[in-house]
């Protein structure tokens, strides 16, 4: 019970704080383990390059870091896990009280009770608590606590670095209304990297201004939502517990909590002004509805608000996948910033593709350092229904193990909310129109129809958008997350070299050195892999020594081949040893190899001197019986006068010469040939398996490379679309300018409703009546009134 108590009092709080700081649901088993893996592994995870068949090793490294399966520490580890499970079962009642106290310090009471359905229990609520109430709580300080503090600091710094406006104390003031509002706007302006360039160009800001314009309106609507929210029979323990508290002896606390939540919601709604509907179950996706109309959400009807293409029957996984794919467009751009800001994350090893846990850890690290994701976490934390009310949603226990998915789902939420909210197309669909909205500012999008913009450009733009959409659809079909793939690729870069090296590069000189200098005291596999071991170890006769010497002489001929095979066959594990995930591959299959003569060195000397030496030799002989392979034992039994190594590795000519040199019986010859055949086949099998593994690894790398290329192409396409949009904008302004300067014979401007400009392929600009242009589908060559040459 000590553990339980300890975790309840300290670990749980720290856990909560950590979660809140991160803003995502994270599997904290590793955090509560005393044998914490290195931070780098927590964040990045080991390379997955070789994890395909190293599950037990992964288990050792991931869950119980460095724990041998039979280690007594494993009991401790599992005990910790079990206790953590108990803690988790209790946290829904324990956590709120803790956090409530924190809110008491900071908040003024107002507003009704609001329930937070976050099953994670902390990611939603603790955002305030972690940042603001942390000091007030007087949490028992500890190493983990300091770690959280450092993480918090890191987050703030990251925010500052990327947002340029968030002071450290702001994070503690996140609950402040005015500040949060300003912060929200700045966050939006600065975090939303997709719009950054548009902002520089003076476009897209309306989207964010809209959030402030609707603030008061949202506050009112918030009440409705909370009321409907209370009516939601989600049955979440957090919420229930909170409600119970509200009904019970702590109404004021609940009020304050409600206020906090309300403000949190308000903050987030100000940040993402169109995400209100995400509160409702099954409506994780934003309401594709013109937000300029009346309040987008109603407490009564939820179904009609759903996107036409996203019926409630959509599986959560599909939706999540779509979110991720949409997010990729933003995330890819965001990556550049993050990479520059935190290059250490590029040195990680790929893991997400194979290791779920490590993927979560890796993604967690990304989320913790990605400003966008931070805000998204904030968003999701404050609107926990995205996960809670959504069966199998972002925080689904299965999918929840990958916080990046949860986090990654956020930015598109914001984007889509923003874009769809301003889109006049009520029937816009998620896959197409929303993407269009994402790519094109709604203002431009809406104006593209009535400005008389040249058709060719519009067509080109539409084509590009269609291609974009199709590409994205392809990504959706393939379940491809460009962001993740790209991240993985970035992480993989540091790893691919090793993989390639391990599979293709020649063995390092150290390998042969180790092979030859196997004079280590232990009879490990490395020492036994020495060539000298093969000198018919069991033999204490002169012939053996002769053979040994002979082998050394002959070795000049076949040594290269042997070295190659030796490395291939026996040195491979050590070659892989420099890979962290392979250091645990400790297969000791030295049973087929005899220890090196250096291990036997005491035996020859002691044979003639002492009887004890003879006994010792006998013991070693018995040991060798166990160490030798079957063929070696057979060879020894058949008195084969040379080593199996030579039998196997000698070139066929020398092998035949060796056979002819020794008068061997038929059985001996057959055995020798069998030994050679089996030895050859053994190496062949080893090579084959190694090749197979390399093929798999290369395929994995190829897949990752293709994914990265695909993500890059997608990103480039987004850039092109943006560029097209800018051109379109410029074109429009030029069009207007030219048109406004046109005068007819009497010096009057042409009415915009009757005339329009047409652009010829040769750069000519024609002023044509609109009705004429409408009649003629293609731009005619016959100018009606005027022709002007303009230079583009």
Partner DNA sequence: CTAAACTGTCATGCC
Partner DNA sequence: CCGGCATGACAGTTT
List contacts with DNA (CB under 7 A): 53-56, 69, 569, 573, 585-589, 591-592, 629-631, 651-652, 655, 674, 676-689, 691-692
In the structure, how many helices (H) and strands (E) does the chain have? 37, 3
Contact between residue 108 and residue 259 where contact means Cβ atoms under 8 Å apart: yes
Closest to DNA by CB, 146 or 691: 691
At residue 785's C-alpha, the angle toward residues 780 and 790, to 5°, is 75
Q: Pairing relation of β-strands 786-789 and 764-769?
A: antiparallel
Closest to DNA by CB, 50 or 480: 50
Closest to DNA by CB, 540 or 592: 592
Structure tokens at 109: 């009471």
Q: Pairing relation of β-strands 764-769 and 755-759?
A: antiparallel
Q: How many CB atoms lie within 10 A of CB 633?
A: 17
Closest to DNA by CB, 426 or 688: 688
- The whole-angstrom separation of Cα 430 and Cα 289 is 11
Which of 368, 404, 493, 329 lies closest to 20, judged by CA?
Answer: 368
Contact between residue 192 and residue 412 where contact means Cβ atoms under 8 Å apart: no
Closest to DNA by CB, 567 or 676: 676
- The whole-angstrom separation of Cα 439 and Cα 445 is 9
User: Shortest approach of DNA to residue 68 CB, angstroms?
Assistant: 8
User: Shortest approach of DNA to residue 688 CB, angstroms?
Assistant: 4
Closest to DNA by CB, 264 or 647: 647
Distance of CA 287 to the CA centre of its chain: 28
HSE, side-chain direction, 13 A CA sphere, residue 65: 19
Closest to DNA by CB, 515 or 569: 569
Closest to DNA by CB, 619 or 685: 685
User: Shortest approach of DNA to residue 321 CB, angstroms?
Assistant: 27
Q: Is 786 helix (H, G, I), strand (E, B) or coil?
A: strand
User: Shortest approach of DNA to residue 45 CB, angstroms?
Assistant: 17
User: Shortest approach of DNA to residue 30 CB, angstroms?
Assistant: 21
User: Shortest approach of DNA to residue 166 CB, angstroms?
Assistant: 46
User: Shortest approach of DNA to residue 556 CB, angstroms?
Assistant: 18
**Partners of 789 in the β-ladder:** 764
Closest to DNA by CB, 252 or 681: 681
Maximum distance among all Cα pairs of the chain, rounded to whole angstroms: 130
User: Shortest approach of DNA to residue 36 CB, angstroms?
Assistant: 22
User: Shortest approach of DNA to residue 535 CB, angstroms?
Assistant: 18
Structure tokens at 591: 């049973």
User: Shortest approach of DNA to residue 629 CB, angstroms?
Assistant: 5
User: Shortest approach of DNA to residue 626 CB, angstroms?
Assistant: 8
Q: Pairing relation of β-strands 755-759 and 786-789?
A: unpaired
At CB < 8 A and 24+ separation, what contacts does 321-325 make? 321/476, 321/479, 321/481, 322/430, 322/431, 322/476, 323/284, 323/394, 323/408, 323/409, 323/412, 323/413, 324/405, 324/408, 324/409, 324/481, 324/483, 324/484, 325/472, 325/475, 325/476, 325/480, 325/481, 325/482
Contact between residue 60 and residue 29 where contact means Cβ atoms under 8 Å apart: no
User: Shortest approach of DNA to residue 301 CB, angstroms?
Assistant: 49
Whats the size of the chain, residue-wise? Answer: 792
User: Shortest approach of DNA to residue 656 CB, angstroms?
Assistant: 8
Which of 336, 330, 291 lies closest to 438, judged by CA?
Answer: 330
- The whole-angstrom separation of Cα 555 and Cα 538 is 21
Burial readout 457-475 (b: 16 or more C-beta within 10 A, e: otherwise): bbeebeebbeebbebbeeb
Closest to DNA by CB, 337 or 585: 585
- The whole-angstrom separation of Cα 66 and Cα 62 is 8
Closest to DNA by CB, 63 or 320: 63
Q: What is the DSSP letter of 783?
A: -
Closest to DNA by CB, 112 or 573: 573
Closest to DNA by CB, 86 or 674: 674
Structure tokens at 522: 């232990």
């Amino acid at each position: 019970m000590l553990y339980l108590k300890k975790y309840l009092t300290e670990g749980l709080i720290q856990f909560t704080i950590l979660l809140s700081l991160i803003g995502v649901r994270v599997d904290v088993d590793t955090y509560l383990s005393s044998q914490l893996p290195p931070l780098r592994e927590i964040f990045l995870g080991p390379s997955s390059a070789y994890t395909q068949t190293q599950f037990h090793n992964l288990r050792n490294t991931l869950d119980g870091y460095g724990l041998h399966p039979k280690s007594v520490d494993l009991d401790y580890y599992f005990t910790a896990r079990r206790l953590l499970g108990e803690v988790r079962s209790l946290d829904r009642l324990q956590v709120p009280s803790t956090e409530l106290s924190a809110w008491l310090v900071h908040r003024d009471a107002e507003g009704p009770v609001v329930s937070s359905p976050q099953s994670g229990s902390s990611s939603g609520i603790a955002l305030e608590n972690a940042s603001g109430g942390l000091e007030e709580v007087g949490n028992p300080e500890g190493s983990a606590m300091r770690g959280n503090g450092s993480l918090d600091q890191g987050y703030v710094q990251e925010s500052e670095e990327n947002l340029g406006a968030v002071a450290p104390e702001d994070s503690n003031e996140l609950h402040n209304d005015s500040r949060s509002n300003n912060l929200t706007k700045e966050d939006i302006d600065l975090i939303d990297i997709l719009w950054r360039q548009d902002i520089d160009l003076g476009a897209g800001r309306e989207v964010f201004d809209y959030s402030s314009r609707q603030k008061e309106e949202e506050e009112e609507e918030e009440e409705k939502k909370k009321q409907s929210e209370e009516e939601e029979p989600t049955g979440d323990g957090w919420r229930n517990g909170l409600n119970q508290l509200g009904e019970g002896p702590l109404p004021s606390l609940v009020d304050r909590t409600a206020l906090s939540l309300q403000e949190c919601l308000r903050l987030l709604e100000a940040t993402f002004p169109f995400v209100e509907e995400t509160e409702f179950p099954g409506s994780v996706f934003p309401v594709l509805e013109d937000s300029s109309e009346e309040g987008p959400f109603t407490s009564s009807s939820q179904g009609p608000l759903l996107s036409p293409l996203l019926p409630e029957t959509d599986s959560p996984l599909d939706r999540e996948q779509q979110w991720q794919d949409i997010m990729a467009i933003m995330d890819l751009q965001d990556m550049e910033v993050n990479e520059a800001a935190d290059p250490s994350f590029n040195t990680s090893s790929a893991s997400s593709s194979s290791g779920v846990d490590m993927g979560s850890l890796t993604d967690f690290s990304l989320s913790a350092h990605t400003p966008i994701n931070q805000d998204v976490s904030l968003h999701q934390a404050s609107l926990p229904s995205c996960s809670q009310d959504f069966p199998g949603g972002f925080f689904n226990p299965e999918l929840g193990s990958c916080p990046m998915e949860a986090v990654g789902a956020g930015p598109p939420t914001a984007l889509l909310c923003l874009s769809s909210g301003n889109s006049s197309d009520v029937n816009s669909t998620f896959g197409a129109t929303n993407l269009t909205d994402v790519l094109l500012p709604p203002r431009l999008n809406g104006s593209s129809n009535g400005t008389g913009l040249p058709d060719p450009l519009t067509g080109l733009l539409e084509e590009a958008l269609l291609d974009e959409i199709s590409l994205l659809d392809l990504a959706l079909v393939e379940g491809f997350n460009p962001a993740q793939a790209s991240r993985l690729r970035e992480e993989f870069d540091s790893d691919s070299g090793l993989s390639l090296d391990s599979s293709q590069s020649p063995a390092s000189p150290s390998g042969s050195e180790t092979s030859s200098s196997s004079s280590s005291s232990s009879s490990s596999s490395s020492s036994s892999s020495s060539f000298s071991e093969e000198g018919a170890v069991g033999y204490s006769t002169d012939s053996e020594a002769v053979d040994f010497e002979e082998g050394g002489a002959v070795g000049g001929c076949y040594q290269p081949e042997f070295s190659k095979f030796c490395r291939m066959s026996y040195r491979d594990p050590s070659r892989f040893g420099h890979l962290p995930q392979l250091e645990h591959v400790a297969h000791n299959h030295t049973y087929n190899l005899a220890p090196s003569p250096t291990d036997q060195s005491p035996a020859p000397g002691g044979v003639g001197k002492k009887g004890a030496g003879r006994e010792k030799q006998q013991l070693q002989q018995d040991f060798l019986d166990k160490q030798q392979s079957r063929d070696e034992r057979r060879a020894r039994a058949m008195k084969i006068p040379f080593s199996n190594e030579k039998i196997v590795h000698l070139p066929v000519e020398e092998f035949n010469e060796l056979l002819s040199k020794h008068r061997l019986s038929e059985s001996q010859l057959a055995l020798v040939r069998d030994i050679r055949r089996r030895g050859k086949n053994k190496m062949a099998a080893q090579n084959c398996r190694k090749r197979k593994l390399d093929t798999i690894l290369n395929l994995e790398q190829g897949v990752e490379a293709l994914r990265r290329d695909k993500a890059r192409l997608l990103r480039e396409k987004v850039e092109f679309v943006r560029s097209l949009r800018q051109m379109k904008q410029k074109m429009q302004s030029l069009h207007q300018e030219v048109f406004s300067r046109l005068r007819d014979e009497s010096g009057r401007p042409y009415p915009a409703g009757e005339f329009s400009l047409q652009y010829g392929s040769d750069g000519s600009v024609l002023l044509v009546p609109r009705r004429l242009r409408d009649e003629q589908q293609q731009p005619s060559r016959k100018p009606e009134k005027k022709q002007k040459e303009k230079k583009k």
